[in-house]
Chains A and B, each alone.
Chain A
Amino acid sequence: MKMKLIMAASLLAATSLATVPQPSVAQDNEVRVGFMAGFPGGRGIYGRDQRDGFLLALDQLGGKLGGLPTKIIIGDTQHKPDVGRQVMSKFLKKDKVHFVAGITWSNVLAAVYKQALKNKTFLISTNAGWSGMDGKHCNPYFFRSSWNNDATPEAMGKLFQAELDNVYLLSANYQAGKDMLTGFLRHYKGKIAGRTLYKLGNSDWAAELTKIRAAKPGAIFAFAPGGMGLSLLKQFNASGLNKTMKLYTVFAVDWMMLKAYGKAAIGNIHTSFWDADSNSPANVRFKRDYANKYKRPASMFAVQGYDAALLINLGIRGASGNLKDHDSIRAAMRTASIDSPRGGFIYNNNHSPIQNYYKREVVADADGNPKIVTRGTVFRGHKDAYHKLCKMQW
């Protein structure tokens, strides 16, 4: 009984604690950034890397963005759009942040963007590549440090057009999966041996691989993010198909996942905006500091988070620290020359990066472990396909 009372009391206490509004201590010379992403489960790895990249940049800047004392508030969207709304609402109305950064998934971005923009708060997507934001919903308050969903598969399509013929398309039966095929087919005009849209969360690929074998394609292009990519590659190798064709993927293989893939990743070819091999000082420093701080290799997602912090930093500097001067902040962000690990990039009219895309291949290193090497540049200064739908000009 005592136990019950204590528990009830603590629950009630927690309840009332939350309901009583705490006076927000808003200092004028402090910059507040809300960082939101999904953290639970296996999918939380993307949110973690974006956040850690962001915080690394903040470290390197001495804990200050634009020279101002900085407060970072982290919010967990739990991968759910409606929880994202709640987090955004807290950032805007309670924490009264000046910038919101983060967001892993397109559907969360689609759910929350209006709130931030209505409130005239800068929103920087560090991952979600929803095309809406690059096209008709583009906005003076929205920037991205990532990519448009279509761009990475577009690079793959171009690669195929130049090098291969007769492709089998394998993608997930949901919006992003279809965007991937749209992007791919924008530049690939060759023969298609077949296509399959698998169900989200698929883990057994026997049926698909059997179909692929029967269709006898020259190569496979697959969109299989996260765990789905891992199981696809493993089963692709076990099926023996790897002896007759190559598997090209987008968003399946990156540095942080390599250990889990092991040998199964070797031979995989993918495209990415990040040339992880690059010897540019910015890249070398980024990779070294990230590995030192977090004891694991950096990923493209970490690059995206990292650059978002640098972007905010330059924006505030451009306004000489005046957080109310949105026009100067925006002007500085538009023309920011970010010292990014990915190399230089500039912003298009829709605030989406004009950047390079690289062909990368997984090869065995001296010990037989997988490593990713860059095999050349597919796109130089690539503009996403939606920027013409964006009315914004500057």
Chain B
Amino acid sequence: MKLNRIKVWLLVTVSGLLLVTPPIALVLDEPFYLTVIGRIMIFAIAALSLDLILGFGGMISLGHAAYLGIGAYAVGILSFYGINNAWLQLPVAIFGSAIVAFIIGIICLRTSGIYFIMITLAMTQLLYFLGISLETYGGDDGLPIDRSIFFEAFDLGDETNLYYLIFAFLVIITLFSWRLINSRFGVVIRGAQENEMRMHAIGFSTFRYKLLAFTIAGSMCGLSGFLYANLNEFVTPEYMHWFRSGEIMIMVLVGGMGTLFGPLFGAAAYLLFEEIISGWTEHWMVIFGPLLVLLVLFAKKGLWGFLPDRDQNDA
């Protein structure tokens, strides 16, 4: 994956802006934007993880929100028992969602095409119902929690600290994904999307590679669940509803499928647009739905895809 000058500049600018947002918000007395952008970055991680299997791997999962929920419940349930230590919560969130993704992957990856879409959808519904019936942990009412603790000195109760934590994870996950995509593993995954038969022919068991990608993506989304539970100080089965899987998928598409940085822009565009338009009218979905249709029909490349692929003077 090569980046041209425009994209590099854009990324530098955006990262710079994200970095200086907290002090600026503080000066302007607009702390609301910390929450908004924090939420955007969390969904950027979730969308990036979906993009790994969807954009790069061609696995159209309509159940990705399940891992957002698993990660969140890992925080929630541990916090319920008074364990707020993030060093424990974070691995549980990541490995917990990895295990669930692994199991779901074993079942779902036996199928393909429309079957795959529908069975991932049904799986997330299964977990959603499970969440509702977990009476001890609040069931449908959800579970209010305290924020996790990494270090005593680094209080996540402070919105700025939480913001920087989210930002750090976004950077780490993006770098990790970059490495992953460009590794031999990434090449196989992309190859399997383009021509599964050929990958078989040259001796790759695509099932194993896909399962691994599915599991990694699940655990990354679990990480975003960990962050989301902390941002909201609340866990609810609602995180796992299949509509949310659809929303994450929209973010991937709006940002640009199969791109590393698209999901961040997609998440930003989706959440901000929703924020604005829902203030206009109670019936905003009537505008929002057709807009989505138009986007898919005419702007499939997404925001990141609109940027020129190479420098003008390269040609």
For B232, the chain A residues whose CB sits under 8 A away are 81-82, 85, 111
Within 8 A of A (CB), among B279-301: 279, 282, 284-285, 294-295, 298-299, 301
Q: Is A48 an interface residue (CB 8 A)?
A: yes
Contact between B140 and A76 (Cβ–Cβ < 8 Å)?
no
Contact A114 B36 (CB under 8 A): no
Bound Cα distance A76, B36 (Å)? 15
Q: Do A107 and B142 have beta carbons less than 8 Å apart? A: yes
Q: Is the CB of B140 within 8 A of A107?
A: yes
| A389, chain B: closest CB distance, angstroms | 16
In chain B between 22 and 46, which residues have their CB closer than 8 angstroms to a CB of chain A? 25, 28, 30-33, 35-36, 39
Instruction: Name A40's contact: one of B133, B272, B285, B295 (CB within 8 Å).
Output: B285
> When the two chains form their complex, are residues A14 and B272 in contact, meaning their CB atoms are under 8 A apart?
yes
Residues of A within 8 A of B295 (CB): 7
CB of B303 to closest CB in A, whole Å: 7
How long is the Cα–Cα vector from A354 to B194 in the complex, in angstroms? 67
- The verdict on A291 contacting chain B, using a C-beta distance below 8 Å, is no
Interface size counted on chain B using CB atoms at 8 A: 46
Contact B268 A174 (CB under 8 A): no
Given known A-B contacts A7-B298, A90-B32, A173-B132, A82 and B141 have beta carbons under 8 A apart: no
Cα–Cα, bound, A383→B238 (Å): 32
CB of B267 to closest CB in A, whole Å: 11
A200 touches B140 (CB 8 A): yes
Check B138–A175 contact: CB distance below 8 A: yes
B132 adjacent to A82 (CB under 8 Å): no
A8 interface residue (CB < 8 Å to B): yes
Interface residue from B142, B239, B284 paired with A110 (Cβ < 8 Å): B142
Whether A111 pairs with B144 at a CB distance below 8 angstroms is: yes
Question: Residue among B36, B231, B303 with the most chain A CB within 10 A?
Answer: B36
Interface size on A, residues (CB 8 A): 45
CB distance from B232 to the nearest CB of A (A): 5
In the assembled complex, B309 has its CB within 8 A of some CB on chain A: no
B228 CB–A CB distance under 8 Å: yes
Q: Given A11-B273, A11-B303, A82–B140 Cβ distance below 8 Å?
A: no
Binary flags per residue of A235-258, CB closer than 8 Å to B gives 1, else 0: 000000000000000000000000
A86, CB-defined interface residue at 8 Å: yes
B282 in contact with A15 (CB, 8 Å): no
B58-91 with Cβ < 8 A to chain A: none
Contact of B278 with A by CB under 8 A: yes
Name the B residues within 8 Å of A15 (CB-CB): 268-269, 272-273
A21 sits at the interface (CB 8 A): yes
Q: How far is the CA of A7 from the CA of B254 in the complex (A)?
A: 11
A51: nearest chain-B partner, CB-CB: B282
A173 to B134, CA, bound (A): 10
* Interface check A99, CB cutoff 8 A: no
Please name all residues of chain B whose beta carbon is closer than 8 Å to the beta carbon of A110 when the two chains form the complex: 138, 141-142, 144, 234
Binary contact readout A59-88 vs B (1 if CB under 8 angstroms, 0 otherwise): 000000000000000111010111001100
Q: Looking at the assembled complex, report how far the CB atom of B42 sits from the nearest CB atom of chain A, in whole angstroms.
A: 10
Is A12 on the interface with B (CB-CB < 8 A)? Answer: yes
Instruction: Give the residue of B33, B228, B273 whose beta carbon is less than 8 angstroms from that of A82.
Output: B228
Measured between beta carbons, the chain A residues less than 8 angstroms from B31 are 93
Decide yes or no: A174 and B142 within 8 Å by CB, A14-B276, A107-B236 being known contacts.
Answer: no
Q: CB distance A19 to B272 under 8 Å? A: yes
The count of A-to-B residue pairs whose CB atoms sit within 8 angstroms is 121
On whether the beta carbons of A3 and B298 are closer than 8 Å, the reply is yes
Q: Which residues of A contact B284 (CB under 8 A)?
A: 76
B194 to chain A, nearest CB (A): 25
Closest to B268 in A: A15
Interface set, chain B 234-263, CB cutoff 8 A to A: 234, 236, 238-239, 254
Distance from B253 Cβ to chain A, minimum over Cβ atoms (Å): 12
Asked whether A86 lies within 8 Å of B276 as measured between CB atoms, the reply is: no
- Chain A residue numbers with a CB within 8 Å of B35 are 85-86, 89, 93
Contact of A85 among B132, B234, B298 (CB under 8 A): B234
What is the minimal beta-carbon distance from B304 to any residue of chain A, in angstroms?
10
With a CB–CB cut-off of 8 A, which chain B residues contact A130? 141
**In the complex, which of the residues B140, B272, B306 contacts A174, with contact meaning CB atoms closer than 8 Å?**
B140
Does A174 lie within 8 Å of B273, measured CB to CB? Answer: no
List B202-223 residues whose CB lies under 8 Å from chain A.
none
Chain B residue at minimal CB-CB distance from A48: B282
Q: Which chain B residues lie closer than 8 Å to A85 at the CB level?
A: 35, 231-232, 234
Contact of B32 among A4, A93, A106 (CB under 8 A): A93
With contact pairs A15-B272, A17-B276, A93-B32 given, residues A176 and B299 touching in the complex (Cβ less than 8 Å): no
B75 to chain A, nearest CB (A): 14
Report which of A4, A90, A107 forms a contact with B298, defined as CB distance below 8 A: A4
Which residues of chain A from 1 to 48 have a CB within 8 Å of any chain B CB?
3-5, 7-8, 11-12, 14-15, 17-19, 21, 24, 39-40, 44, 48
The answer to whether the Cβ of A293 comes within 8 Å of any Cβ in the partner chain is no
Shortest Cβ gap from B285 to chain A (Å): 6
Interface residues of B in 86-119 (CB under 8 A from A): none
Which residues of the partner chain B approach A18 to less than 8 Å between Cβ atoms?
A: 272-273, 275-276
- Asked whether, in the complex, the Cβ of B129 is within 8 Å of the Cβ of A199, the reply is yes
* A 137-178 contacts with B by CB, 8 A: 173-176, 178
Tell me whether A14 and B234 are in contact (CB under 8 A).
no
List, in ascending order, chain B residues with CB within 8 A of A4's CB: 298-299, 301, 306
- Given the known A-B contacts A3-B298, A82-B236, are A107 and B141 also in contact in the complex, defined by CB atoms under 8 Å? yes
- CB of A80 within 8 A of CB of B269, answer no
User: Which residue of the partner chain, among B39, B140, B269, contacts A11 with CB atoms under 8 Å?
Assistant: B269
| Chain A residue at minimum C-beta to C-beta distance from B294 | A7
Give min CB distance, B133 to chain A, whole Å: 6
- In the bound complex, what is the Cα–Cα distance between A173 and B284 (angstroms)? 32
Cross-chain pairs A/B with CB under 8 angstroms, 13 sampled: A4-B299, A12-B269, A14-B273, A80-B236, A82-B238, A85-B231, A94-B30, A110-B142, A110-B144, A110-B234, A174-B132, A175-B139, A200-B132
The 6 nearest A-B residue pairs measured at CB: A93-B32, A174-B140, A175-B141, A94-B32, A18-B272, A111-B234
Beyond A12-B303, A107-B142, A110-B138, 8 additional pairs, beta carbon < 8 A: A15-B269, A76-B278, A82-B234, A82-B239, A85-B231, A89-B32, A107-B141, A178-B135
Q: Which residues of A contact B (CB under 8 A)?
A: 3-5, 7-8, 11-12, 14-15, 17-19, 21, 24, 39-40, 44, 48, 74-76, 78, 80-82, 85-86, 89-90, 92-94, 106-107, 110-111, 114, 130, 173-176, 178, 199-200
